[in-house]
Structure 1
Amino acid sequence: MKVYLHPGQFRVSSEPAAVTTILGSCVAVCLWDPLLKVGGINHYLLPHWAGGVAASFRYGNVAVQCLIESLLSLGCVKERLVAKLFGGACVIEAFKEGENHLGMKNVGVARRLLEEAGIGIIGEDVGGRYGRKLIFQTDDGVVWVKSL
């Protein structure tokens, strides 16, 4: 099955799926359980939801937590999950604030939440000044990345 993941969405699957998304300053976290061969991916735009309007997967602190919980509900074990991070670029010069631009704030949220959950990051392609297209295979955890 092929799926396109829009910003503010996430996808988990116990069936093989190729999930494609395009990232700039946004971040995608790919999680995979190698024993069950179950995976999931999110695509978020902003680091923190601070309350107010309904929580949304557009925010990293919501999207990462929901991704983890959804995989656990499919029988995955947190200690077996491995993560890969992508995105977090600074694609517009006017938004650059040193190394602490929006993209790296998005990356920082993912790193912190994964560390707190005890999930190791085994690969990443983050930062820089270019966008990325990626395809995540939910059944084997392989990610294909192309710089844009």
Structure 2
Amino acid sequence: MAVPGGVITTVLGSCVATCIWDPVARVGGMNHILVAESGSGPTRCDAVGVNAMELVINGLIHCGARRANLQAKVFGGAKMIDGLSDIGQVNGLFVVEYLEREGITCVNKSLGGTLARQIRFYPAEGRVLQKSIAGAAVPPPRRKVGSADGNDLELF
């Protein structure tokens, strides 16, 4: 949460930020989710993402927002490292589905791609500025196994 006239800022790669505000009460807040879900298959757990969403929503209600008035904008979820799993897509999908399930209108989103983003959220207004950060994507890890001399091993 922030004071009126304030700004909340973050930088995102595969992480996802949800900017949520009540335009009537003129209060807002933002979360930053590193990994929305843990585990896989039948042992998948979304407790981390749910907790991040509930903390910001409950904080807004505590500051005078009404749940029925809440609106959201979602950012991030980039694929930052080629050749690895796309955790950014999983994070983005989690937040979008969560908002739908909870009946919170998502008025805009900027998800995916391969660029990092800098986000500036003006919570009293619901206004968000996004700046793409070029060159932030990381190439796949290099793997050098063995050499002509013998036993070299380089995984990074």
TM-score (norm. length: structure 1): 0.80
Which sections of structure 1, spanning at least 5 residues, go unmatched? 1-11, 51-57
* Residue identity opposite 1:139 in structure 2: A
What residue is the counterpart of 2:122 in the other structure?
A: 137
What residue is the counterpart of 2:92 in the other structure?
A: 107
Task: Describe the superposition over 1:34-75 as per-residue Cα deviations: whole angstroms up to 9, x where unpaired.
Answer: 01110000111001267xxxxxxx932210111111111112
Equivalent pair of 2:19/2:30 in contact (CA under 8 Å): yes
What residue is the counterpart of 1:46 in the other structure?
A: 35
Identical counterparts, % of pairs: 36
Q: Moved runs in structure 1, 4+ residues, more than 3 A?
A: none
Equivalent pair of 2:17/2:31 in contact (CA under 8 Å): yes
Task: Describe the superposition over 1:113-138 as per-residue Cα deviations: whole angstroms up to 9, x where unpaired.
Answer: 11121101001111001100010001
- How many pairs does the alignment contain? 126
CA RMSD between the two structures? 1.7
Q: Distance in 2 between matches of 1:39 and 1:60?
A: 18
Q: Distance in 2 between matches of 1:31 and 1:115?
A: 14
**CA displacement at 1:15 relative to structure 2:** 2.6
Does 2:63 align with 1:74? yes
Which sections of structure 2, spanning at least 5 residues, go unmatched? 40-46, 134-156
Q: Distance in 1 between matches of 2:128 and 2:96?
A: 18
Does 2:82 align with 1:93? yes
Task: Describe the superposition over 1:90-147 as per-residue Cα deviations: whole angstroms up to 9, x where unpaired.
Answer: 0110224xxxx20011111111211121101001111001100010001101000011
Q: Distance in 2 between matches of 1:122 and 1:144?
A: 14
Does 2:101 align with 1:116? yes
